[in-house]
Amino acid sequence: MSPAKQRASAYTSLATMIEAGVPLERSLELASGSARGAFARALKAVAAGVAAGQSMSETMEAHPRAFAPLDRTLVTAGEHSGHLPLCLRNLADWHGFRDHQQRQLMSNMLLPLLVLHAAAVLAPLPRLFLTGMTGAQYGMQVFGILMVPYIIAAVVIVIYSMPNSGPARRVLDHVAIRIPLLGRALRQLALSRYFLVFSVLNDAGFSAIESTKLAANVGGNSVALDLLRGGTESSRQGRRISEGFSRRLDAEYLAQWQVGEETGMLSETTRRLSHQAAERGQMLIADLLKMTPRIVYLIIVIYLAYMIVQAVKTIYAPIQELMY
């Protein structure tokens, strides 16, 4: 079970048990039984903290590797508002969405990766048999073909394992946001997360300053979130939150936020904005998942064509020498 799926399942179970009247400590113990590894141990530690008199959010703060800023922030909001099950279900939906996207990516990329490895092994074979290439040289050529995708995979793993803040993460966010299609998807998902957290915090009675500040620091692409960070300072100065937003923010989102401020229905508006941004992000990710295998196939075809040309040159080179 993937980490995202574990969290979606655990938060759904917690919400259901709390709504049924099961004490929080017992609910956490039961939820940890269906989890695995470090996350299961973290849930047990949270249960122990609750038993010792701490709040759930306080104990989660002591385990930042197991509980992301988004998880900790929404649980805090749930405790403040008295709507912890609702916040847990919001978290379950978010992690369920992440799990779906990860499984879809793996499904779409499995066949292209198998074809890529087969091409890496088979493409240099003609040169191995027709030239004086040694086994070591053949192995190095196979490794050279596979090196680029392995490097890309390593970079992705590093990005996922890095903290949500810091100079290195900031640089990676700048690079990622400029990648066609992927950058647009990351932008929409970051905005969706901001809108969701703001809505929950606003409903929980947090001030506008606290809500905007926390929402801008729950993770996601930091470059995309820069579009919204000015809302905190604007609120601190007594102005409307939207007046501090960047003019580069999607005009549709900005207009809806302003209407929400004018009508006093900002929580409902930002919840709706979260759904809109998430849907757009999902559509962009779906397009990216369709395109990625095609790009891999194109690279394979180009490389195979190159290897065929090289093989033909190797075969006909001795003939040409004899003719001239």
Q: What pLDDT was estimated at residue 319?
A: 62
Q: What pLDDT was estimated at residue 16?
A: 94
Q: What pLDDT was estimated at residue 82?
A: 86
Domain boundaries, the chain: 3-67
**Residues ≥6 apart with Cβ < 8 Å to 209:** 232, 235, 236
Q: Which parts of the chain have pLDDT scores under 50?
A: none
Decide if 290 contacts 106 (C-beta within 8 A). Answer: no
* pTM score, whole prediction: 0.73
Decide if 90 contacts 81 (C-beta within 8 A). Answer: no
Q: Which two tokens stand for residue 156?
A: 């992705």
Q: What pLDDT was estimated at residue 163?
A: 59
By the 10 Å C-beta count (0-12 exposed, 13-18 middle, 19+ buried), 238 is classed as exposed
Q: What pLDDT was estimated at residue 118?
A: 80
Helix or strand holding residue 129 (H, E): helix 125-130
Q: What pLDDT was estimated at residue 160?
A: 59
Question: In the CATH scheme, what architecture does the domain 3-67 have?
Answer: Up-down Bundle (1.20)
Q: What pLDDT was estimated at residue 167?
A: 75
**Residues ≥6 apart with Cβ < 8 Å to 310:** 127
